């Protein structure tokens, strides 16, 4: 089956009610017919649900769909994108291990390193996005176990060459862990290029309507089993309600992403020549520094456009205050277009130097291009620019 069909037609078994659309299974536990059956399911000799911290039909439907769409053997859902990332690290790294991680990762992923991983005795080294892969060998230590990257990165839209990075990781026998949140499996399938672990914040484009938090880790059966053991014991499990929402959302992921990308490209092209803008960043614009890599590994450029306002911090604030239609909010990947100013919000705690390294200039604006009519989206942005 093709992507769109899998996203729609994979669903849990119909109940005796013959419902067409799958129901939600809000139950904390499941009953058994006999003591023997209960013992067999607990002992792992028979398949079956026991307790919703372990498995739940609503959650399983979402996981099976993600695995089908990422073309991995299996997937395990979690309560948020951050718990998916945390689980994908601690299920494989233990005291004395070393992690290589791109510096251009989501803010909370970045903070997780110093705040928690080092406390567990896990070492890490940041790789700067400007550091050429030919110079990465010297960063590998005898105890290095994993490489974690995000591509495209939030909010710098830096793109790693998945094929090259994967070959390099294999050469050093490292697990390659890719945050595929910005692209979604519809635009990019890291497994195809050799990634071992794929993580998502399902809160973003997968939900697509700004309603629920969720996360997922996809990979081989062996990989997912390890993450599942962590989730089952530590408990960052996805709720059946959120799983049901997310599974329904996947049914429309392809059509939504097509429109997000179409609107984003139109907006990026329109803003390019604007006198109040220094530079527009979008993976599918020819002047994006990794345009050719983006073209090779992504089917479209995604739903996020960023641009650098002339006039720095002050211009950024004015731009946000002038907006009438666009929302000022922390989320992205919503049907509603969202504007944010990373230098004064999500990345305010970093030093100017650190922000520079991540491509976050004082006047950088991030637009998560929604599904409203493109004329209304660009009209609001244009009037706001005029009034800075």
Query: Footprint of ligand PLP on this chain (CB under 6 A)?
Result: 80-82, 106, 150, 154, 179, 181-182, 201, 203-204, 213, 215
* Cβ nearer to ligand PLP, comparing 218 with 315: 218
Chain position whose Cβ is nearest to ligand PLP: 81
CA-wise closest residue to 117 among 151, 148, 158:
148
* Cβ nearer to ligand PLP, comparing 52 with 184: 184
Residues 252 and 41: their CA atoms lie apart, in Å, by 35
Pairing of strands 277-281, 304-309: antiparallel
First CA to last CA distance, the chain: 50
* Cβ nearer to ligand PLP, comparing 304 with 343: 304
Q: Residue 307, by phi and psi: left (phi above 0), alpha (psi -120 to 50) or beta?
A: beta
* Cβ nearer to ligand PLP, comparing 102 with 384: 102
* Cβ nearer to ligand PLP, comparing 106 with 168: 106
Residues 202 and 188: their CA atoms lie apart, in Å, by 15
Whole-number Cα distances in Å, 229 to 76, 120, 303, 366 = 10, 18, 34, 37
CB of 213 to ligand PLP, least distance (A): 5
* Cβ nearer to ligand PLP, comparing 58 with 180: 180
CB of 248 to ligand PLP, least distance (A): 18
Residues 363 and 375: their CA atoms lie apart, in Å, by 24
CB of 155 to ligand PLP, least distance (A): 9
* Cβ nearer to ligand PLP, comparing 315 with 365: 365
* Cβ nearer to ligand PLP, comparing 244 with 380: 244
CB of 342 to ligand PLP, least distance (A): 12
CB of 366 to ligand PLP, least distance (A): 11
* Cβ nearer to ligand PLP, comparing 189 with 204: 204
CB of 107 to ligand PLP, least distance (A): 8
Residues 50 and 295: their CA atoms lie apart, in Å, by 45
Residues 341 and 339: their CA atoms lie apart, in Å, by 7
Main-chain dihedrals φ then ψ at residue 51, nearest 5 degrees: -155, 140
How would DSSP label each residue in 95-158?
TT-EEEEESSS-HHHHHHIIIIIGGGT-EEEEE-TTS-GGG-GGG--TTEEEEEEESS-TTT--
Residues 25, 57 contacting (CB under 8 angstroms): yes
CB of 22 to ligand PLP, least distance (A): 23
Length of the chain measured in residues = 388
CB of 234 to ligand PLP, least distance (A): 16
CB of 245 to ligand PLP, least distance (A): 13
Letter string b/e over residues 256-284, b meaning 16 or more CB atoms within 10 A of that residue's CB: bbebbbbbbbbbbebbeebebbebbbbbb
């Amino acid at each position: 089956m093709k992507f769109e069909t899998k996203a729609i037609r994979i669903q849990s078994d119909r109940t005796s009610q013959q419902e067409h659309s799958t129901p939600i299974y809000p139950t904390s536990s499941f009953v058994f017919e006999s003591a023997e059956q209960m013992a067999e399911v607990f002992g792992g000799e028979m398949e079956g649900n026991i307790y919703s911290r372990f498995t739940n039909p609503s959650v399983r439907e979402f996981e099976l769909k993600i695995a089908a769409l990422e073309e991995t053997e299996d997937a395990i859902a979690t309560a948020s994108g951050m718990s998916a990332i945390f689980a994908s690290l601690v299920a494989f790294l233990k005291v004395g291990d070393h992690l290589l991680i791109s510096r251009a990762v989501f803010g909370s992923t970045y903070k997780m390193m110093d705040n928690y991983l080092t406390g567990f005795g896990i070492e890490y080294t940041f790789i700067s996005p400007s550091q050429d892969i030919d110079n990465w060998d010297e960063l590998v230590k005898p105890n290095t176990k994993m490489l974690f990257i995000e591509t495209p990165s939030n909010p710098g839209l830096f793109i790693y060459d998945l094929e090259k990075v994967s070959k390099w990781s294999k050469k050093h026998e490292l697990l390659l862990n890719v945050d595929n949140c910005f692209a979604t499996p519809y635009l990019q399938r890291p497994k195809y290029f050799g990634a071992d672990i794929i993580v998502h914040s399902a809160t973003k484009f997968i939900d697509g309507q700004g309603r629920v938090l969720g996360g997922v880790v996809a990979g081989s059966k062996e990989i997912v089993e390890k993450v599942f053991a962590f989730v089952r014991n530590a408990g960052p499990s996805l709720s059946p309600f959120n799983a049901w929402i997310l599974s329904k959302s996947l049914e429309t992921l392809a059509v939504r992403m097509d429109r997000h990308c179409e609107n984003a490209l139109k907006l990026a092209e329109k803003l390019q020549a604007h006198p109040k803008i220094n530079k527009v960043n979008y993976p599918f614009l020819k002047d994006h520094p990794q345009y050719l890599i983006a073209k090779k590994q992504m089917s479209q450029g995604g739903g996020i456009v960023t641009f650098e306002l002339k006039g720095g911090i002050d211009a950024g604030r004015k731009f946000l205050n002038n907006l009438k239609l666009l929302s000022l909010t922390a989320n992205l990947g919503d049907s509603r277009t969202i504007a944010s100013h990373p230098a004064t919000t999500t990345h305010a705690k970093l030093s100017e130097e650190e922000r520079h390294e991540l491509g976050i200039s004082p006047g950088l604006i991030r637009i998560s291009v929604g599904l409203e009519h493109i004329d209304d989206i660009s009209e609001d942005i244009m009037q706001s620019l005029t009034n800075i």
